[in-house]
Structure 1
């Protein structure tokens, strides 16, 4: 099988991220056509975004062809942009 692009879904809510990831996995043959991971909320379970959770999710779905990171709004975009600027937190 060739390398796959992984998908990371970033939301301010862990529950929202997990629900959307569940839907995406269903549409992606259970993750067979594209691995999907959720990165929602903070490490403590609150509302917000976490660079650590995003990086962990990205590593989990990196199939060798890169990772698409889809975000819900505002500060999630800023968090991912900051991670990209650092250059070492997300798979290339």
Structure 2
């Protein structure tokens, strides 16, 4: 779990945000990228909604998003609800996602922000997953 000295010199972990809603996936991606700040930002792709553009989950959108952010350092995939998780798991079993893709068990919004910030700092996939998962412990009161 090491970070390169200069993140601009190494491929970054990509992040895919899978939601039942295209608007939610896009908004969380925008939020995470905005909070990441800095000149270097990890590649992030929303994969929201069903194949017809309505609510749902699309394997094709998830695969395309994962391929679009894959720089060879791994891809962290976060999903919002049950069937999105099941779809990502099926894609992993069928080896349809890039090598190094991993479903990350994390809260969707907080986990996405933690994943993108950590990936943008040049951390490896294990550290990105750990940061996203740690978001379960964030206290709000």
TM-score, normalising length: structure 1: 0.92
Give every structure 1 segment of 4 or more consecutive aligned residues whose post-TM-superposition deviation is greater than 6 Å: none
Deviations 1:28-53 (A, max 9, x none): 33783311110000121110100100
Q: Decide which structure has greater strand share.
A: 1
Instruction: Tell me the TM-score normalised to structure 2 length.
Output: 0.61
Aligned to 1:4: 12
1:70 partnered with 2:78: yes
Question: How far apart, CA to CA, are the structure 2 residues paired with 1:27 and 1:56?
Answer: 24
- Residue correspondences, number: 91
Mapped to 2, the partners of 1:73 and 1:17 lie a distance apart of 12
Q: Which has the higher contact order (CA 8 A, sep 6+)?
A: 1
CA distance in 2, matches of 1:44, 1:6: 25
Structure possessing the higher radius of gyration over alpha carbons: 2
Where does residue 30 of structure 2 map in the other structure?
A: 22
Structure 2, unpaired ranges of 5+: 1-8, 100-141
